[in-house]
Structure 1
Amino acid sequence: MDDMEKWPEIEKAASGKRRELVLQGPGVDRRISSEGGLTCAVYSLTLLNYLEVSQCPSLTQIHEDIQHLTNLQSLILCRNKLSSVPDVLGSLKSLKVLDLSVNHLRVLPEGITQLKELNTLNVSCNSLEVLPEGLSQCTKLSTIIISKNHITGFPSDLCSERLDLLSTLVASDNCIDQLSGDIHKLPALKLHTHGSHALGFLLLMPCLLQVLDLSNNKLSEIPSDLSDCPKLKEINFKGNKLSDKRLEKMVNGCQTKSILDYLRGKGRGRQGEDGGDTEGGRSADRGKRQQQRKKKEKAAADERDEVEELNKMVVRVLHVSDAPTALTVKVSAEVKDVRPYLVCCVVRGMNLKPGNALKRFLVAQTKLHDELCGKRTTATIATHDVQLLKTPLTYDVKPPTQLKVVALGRKEMTAVELIRHLQLEADELRKQKKRQNVTGLHKYLQILQGKSLYPCLVDAEGHVISFPPITNSEKTKIKKTTKELFLEVTSGTSLQTCKDVMDALIVKMAELNKFTAEHREEAGSDGEGDGPQESAGVNETSSELIIQQVRTVDQDGNLKVVYPSKTDLCKDVSSVNVIW
């Protein structure tokens, strides 16, 4: 048996001249283990522009023949046990995305610095102590993720003005120990270093800093030059033992504008310390008195700005590479002619327990169905309790007589039986109410008329948990006690329609969660809860939502879509702050 026969995915990619290949999971890992490494046959697929080999603990190295894949634009080698990667990666001149996260790497090859097209580098969750010098040659870098390593400092050229596209640097859980006063020269950078042991120097980066999270470090000082960042919207220095106790108190209150104003004042005061002659000292005094007079005038406006800042809803996106157990949904080819478009994600932090929180959420979902979803004709939303899901999930189609579902509030029946029941209910309701139109689920029945196959989301045990656009399953129904929600949006119109609806749903969830946190309703039962109820104070101190990305792939494991991506959740919603 040759390599192609042992690796049907590679044979299929070769014969079909495919541009994408995904190898992941226990089956692939067993083959890698038995052969002592990844088959060299993969390096003959020179047409590939996307290659992913992930979740394979037996994969400890990559052969130098990878240099033959010169058309690669994305190379994903995450969640393996790579101890090294070859320097010839620098030969992949078209590479834009390199993901080496969750491995055993101690060093990165110098060849990475030759990747002129690289815009995303993810080396999180390794054992790196340094980054290679020369990253400034990768002038198109926009995202660098180096969290959960042992890095003690940044290479000096990382701060080069050549990196004028750098917008995101994630450096949490490292050993970096200084913060330079030149921080104000950072451009459009969103910097996340929460959980680090300390934070190191960052110099001359050409961007307009927007988000700065340095929480839980060992910083004793915050440079006053930070106040010169013109675009800074969010800073977090919680958990640091600052020498300035007044500043530490402000930091723990997350008062961004107040912190910046305070730092700005400290910077001005320092300029006058070595003023020299008397006239210079008197000028400094006059400036100080003028500043004090203006302070009262600004107080009211500052307070309003601060309230607005604190009232912003926060949505934090968790990348699939940072969550080894992230869900993946497989999409069968047959849905193409029935209801082809699907996006999914997992939401944590949604508090459904207090008062009418669950009811408000369900009402909001119904409103989205009626308005943005065009009464389910353009898209349909479904929600599930993650704890009740049996993964992996498959988006598939079934004949009406073979699709069995336990619809919400009903016993198990086939789709044919369910629709017949709903039609009878609709007719009876019309007679009772003397109406021409129907309401509720009944008004969506016509959407499936003439279809020989019906769409459905199926769990690992073969149970249908969603039957769009008609109903979810009772098996995965959300309750007051639900802590994690799996969201799905399907459509027969377009993928962008699914994304727009999901965006709107997440924003609405953020609004509802904030309302719940602020109004402190007593937890109570409305028939949806299970077990003893807790007080309203539990889990209500924060309204932040965590959105876990979910990938959808085709039957061969090729990526179809990941939601949310950097182009999602980016519409101008001033009340929501999305942190990537």
Structure 2
Amino acid sequence: MDSMEKWPEIETAVAEKRRELVLQGSAIDKRISSNGGLTSSIYSLTLLNYLEVSQCPSLTEIHEDIQHLTNLQSLILCRNKLAFIPNVIGNLKSLKVLDLSVNNLRVLPEGITQLKELNTLNVSCNDLEVLPEGLSMCPKLSSINISKNHITGFPANFYSERLGLLSTLVASDNLVEELSGDIHKLVALKVLDLSNNKLSEIPSDLSDCPKLKEINFKGNKLNDKRLEKMVNSCQTKSILDYLRGKGKGRQAEDGGDADSGHKTDVRKRQQQRKKKEKVAHEQDEVEELNKMVVRVLHVSDAPTVKVSAGVKDVRPYLVCCVVSGMNLKPGNALKRFLMAQTKLHDDLCGRRTTATIAAHDVQLLKSPLMYDVKPPTQLKIVPLGRKEMTAVELIRHLQLEADELRKQKKRQNVTGLHKYLQLLQGKALYPCLIDAEGHVISFPPITNSEKTKIKKTTKELFLEVTSATSLQTCKDVMDALIVKMAELNKFTAEHQEEVGSDEEGDIPKQPTTSDKTSCELIVQQVRTVDQDGNLKVVYPSKTDLSKDISNVTVIW
């Protein structure tokens, strides 16, 4: 039963008819503990399309009233101690993203199979032993992560044409004993990770998956020792070629001893295989034509960002790099880049709840840089398009603007920076990136500084991604940003647009030969170190820029 304590986040969401709500961390956990669970008032927020309740060890179950949140598109319940999810979750017909990772779940409700719009399912780091039988009834699933559980196998009907959009299947660190030859029915599969399981065989039919680009079977004791050695050392293509050869050898043996009917079946399979190979080859040719080049520049004196110990409890993760070769002069090139950054914030970054991106003009940076925290009253910044003010003043201005916008436009949802204000509620210290002169050039997740603002004339960009979630999240977002920049650069090079002048108000120039330079991007590594100079991370490393970017060639 709810205590009398009121939750200000819920009251604000009700008053402002918000579409997003994020509850996380120790303060929320204490309330959940004293309340005996989430306050029931949360289930009255029927306008929500994004709900996150995370990092709350006292949260052990979700009430059946969750079914009233029928507008939810994203439900993030990670890093709690959930042992039970009600079956009525199947009533959330609009749900697209479901993250139940890092909990204590032993079973998933069958109701999940009723989520026809679901495209992302993450149940990693739980205690699951089986998956729901009807998972293939979710036709829009494109990504499934079931890693670090106790799963021994996939449901019999899992390998189905109905999962025709499934491109990523991560099932590492489980107890899977067998992979069916029907795996080839997952025609959109690009990434398959079954590392550290109990597999003894890998079916040759796996080589029939036409789009497969990345596989990982390391940590399995395979009967075929040559294949096991290849799995531990070779690239995906070599392994698939080997499996394809084994499959042909087996077919030849079967065909020699079989009757004519069986020979016909073998021939049909061979024809189907050739057809798939032809389609895949044609797709590869198209992809090859569309490939973009990203060159990674490794230098011994790579730029360094020092990270203070104070960020650990606020926003601990940071990844940076320097990108040159990005042509922002022509036409709407700069506008397209800023729009792409906004889209990444809304999608991959979960409306900045999981990560935040900032881009700076390298020529305007005063190095070395320091990633630190400051009290809101002491953090001073010149926000984009504004005069210098403290973080407290900026938040107050943004809140007043949001209120005024609601009155003017007669709508409850807010836009721009205003929709990120809730991410700072209850924080005693704010994270910031500080230059050598002591100026704050970035205040995530809200804004960066006018002092280092990128323009059409910017030739080198300093990119930063910060997160309170994980270092890998930062890397994934940075990977996606660089790939998008490569795509935009290619588009700019292929479309002859007028090149903007250096000074506003001048007549636009026509493109010159020097403006039409190569669309190759060059990414220079940046190191982050602790206060003692010990390396924390360098980006990009050899393991970065390697996942699901088949249209990009990375040169080291």
- TM-score normalised according to structure 1 size: 0.54
Q: Is 1:381 the equivalent of 2:341?
A: no
The whole-number CA distance in structure 1 between the counterparts of 2:15 and 2:53 is: 20
The whole-number CA distance in structure 1 between the counterparts of 2:312 and 2:520 is: 24
1:147-200 per-residue CA deviation (whole Å, 9 max, x = no partner) reads: 1111111112222332222222211111111122333332111343354322xx
Whether contact under 8 Å (1:108, 1:131) holds in the other structure is yes
1:364-407 per-residue CA deviation (whole Å, 9 max, x = no partner) reads: 54x54876899999864379999953369999756756579997
1:415-464 per-residue CA deviation (whole Å, 9 max, x = no partner) reads: xxxxxxxxxxxxxxxxxxxxxxxxxxxxxxxxxxxxxxxx942389x9x9
1:279-303 per-residue CA deviation (whole Å, 9 max, x = no partner) reads: 99xx9xxxxxxxxxxxxxxxxxxxx
Aligned to 2:177: 177
Aligned to 2:420: none
Q: CA deviation at 1:512?
A: 5.5
The whole-number CA distance in structure 2 between the counterparts of 1:73 and 1:373 is: 36
Whether contact under 8 Å (1:82, 1:104) holds in the other structure is yes
The whole-number CA distance in structure 2 between the counterparts of 1:541 and 1:10 is: 40
Q: Is 1:139 the equivalent of 2:139?
A: yes
The whole-number CA distance in structure 1 between the counterparts of 2:472 and 2:370 is: 10
SS at match of 1:389: strand
SS at match of 1:177: coil
The whole-number CA distance in structure 2 between the counterparts of 1:250 and 1:503 is: 33
The whole-number CA distance in structure 1 between the counterparts of 2:250 and 2:472 is: 50
The whole-number CA distance in structure 1 between the counterparts of 2:449 and 2:255 is: 73
The whole-number CA distance in structure 1 between the counterparts of 2:250 and 2:433 is: 70
Aligned to 1:559: none
The alignment of Structure 1 onto Structure 2 pairs a total of residues equal to: 394
Q: CA deviation at 1:103?
A: 0.9
The whole-number CA distance in structure 2 between the counterparts of 1:540 and 1:70 is: 41
Which residue type is aligned with residue 551 of structure 2?
A: V
SS at match of 2:150: coil
Whether contact under 8 Å (1:372, 1:501) holds in the other structure is no
Q: CA deviation at 1:130?
A: 0.9
* Counterpart selection for 1:468 from 448, 452, 456: 452
Q: CA deviation at 1:255?
A: 4.0
Q: Is 1:122 the equivalent of 2:122?
A: yes
Q: Is 1:390 the equivalent of 2:372?
A: yes
Which residue type is aligned with residue 443 of structure 2?
A: V
Q: CA deviation at 1:233?
A: 2.9
Which residue type is aligned with residue 79 of structure 1?
A: R
Q: CA deviation at 1:113?
A: 1.9
Distance 1:182 1:69, change over 3 A: closer
Aligned to 1:193: 193
Q: CA deviation at 1:127?
A: 0.7
Pairing of 1:159-238 with structure 2 (within 5 A):
159-198=159-198, 219-238=199-218
The whole-number CA distance in structure 2 between the counterparts of 1:46 and 1:23 is: 16
The whole-number CA distance in structure 1 between the counterparts of 2:202 and 2:243 is: 8
Aligned to 1:259: 239
Whether contact under 8 Å (2:59, 2:81) holds in the other structure is yes
SS at match of 1:575: strand
Whether contact under 8 Å (1:4, 1:11) holds in the other structure is no
Q: Percent identity?
A: 56
Name stretches of at least 5 consecutive residues in structure 2 with no aligned partner: 264-284, 297-310, 339-358, 392-431, 456-461, 465-470, 490-518
Which residue type is aligned with residue 371 of structure 2?
A: L
Aligned to 1:94: 94
Whether contact under 8 Å (1:4, 1:10) holds in the other structure is no
Q: Is 1:573 the equivalent of 2:551?
A: yes
Which residue type is aligned with residue 28 of structure 1?
A: I
Moved more, 152-161 or 369-378: 369-378
1:223-263 per-residue CA deviation (whole Å, 9 max, x = no partner) reads: 22233333333334444444434434444441444433333
Aligned to 1:28: 28
SS at match of 1:98: strand
Whether contact under 8 Å (1:347, 1:545) holds in the other structure is no
Which residue type is aligned with residue 381 of structure 1?
A: H
The whole-number CA distance in structure 1 between the counterparts of 2:330 and 2:543 is: 24
SS at match of 1:47: coil
Q: CA deviation at 1:7?
A: 1.0
Distance 1:84 1:326, change over 3 A: farther
Distance 1:88 1:326, change over 3 A: farther
Aligned to 1:558: none
Whether contact under 8 Å (2:24, 2:52) holds in the other structure is yes
Q: Is 1:75 the equivalent of 2:82?
A: no
Aligned to 2:467: none
Q: CA deviation at 1:139?
A: 2.4
Alignment RMSD (CA, Å): 5.5
Distance 1:46 1:531, change over 3 A: closer
The whole-number CA distance in structure 2 between the counterparts of 1:94 and 1:278 is: 51
The whole-number CA distance in structure 2 between the counterparts of 1:77 and 1:95 is: 13
Aligned to 1:50: 50
Which residue type is aligned with residue 390 of structure 1?
A: D
1:196-218 per-residue CA deviation (whole Å, 9 max, x = no partner) reads: 322xxxxxxxxxxxxxxxxxxxx
Q: Is 1:458 the equivalent of 2:437?
A: no
The whole-number CA distance in structure 2 between the counterparts of 1:503 and 1:11 is: 43
Which residue type is aligned with residue 271 of structure 1?
A: Q
SS at match of 1:273: helix
SS at match of 1:183: helix
Q: CA deviation at 1:3?
A: 7.4
Q: CA deviation at 1:17?
A: 1.6
Pairing of 1:332-343 with structure 2 (within 5 A):
none
Q: CA deviation at 1:128?
A: 0.8
Aligned to 1:18: 18
- TM-score normalised according to structure 2 size: 0.56
The whole-number CA distance in structure 2 between the counterparts of 1:278 and 1:114 is: 43
SS at match of 2:67: helix
1:538-563 per-residue CA deviation (whole Å, 9 max, x = no partner) reads: 9999722179xxxxxxxxxxxxxxxx
The whole-number CA distance in structure 2 between the counterparts of 1:162 and 1:69 is: 27
Q: Which has the larger radius of gyration?
A: 1
Q: Is 1:272 the equivalent of 2:271?
A: no
Whether contact under 8 Å (1:119, 1:142) holds in the other structure is yes
Whether contact under 8 Å (2:153, 2:177) holds in the other structure is yes
SS at match of 2:552: coil
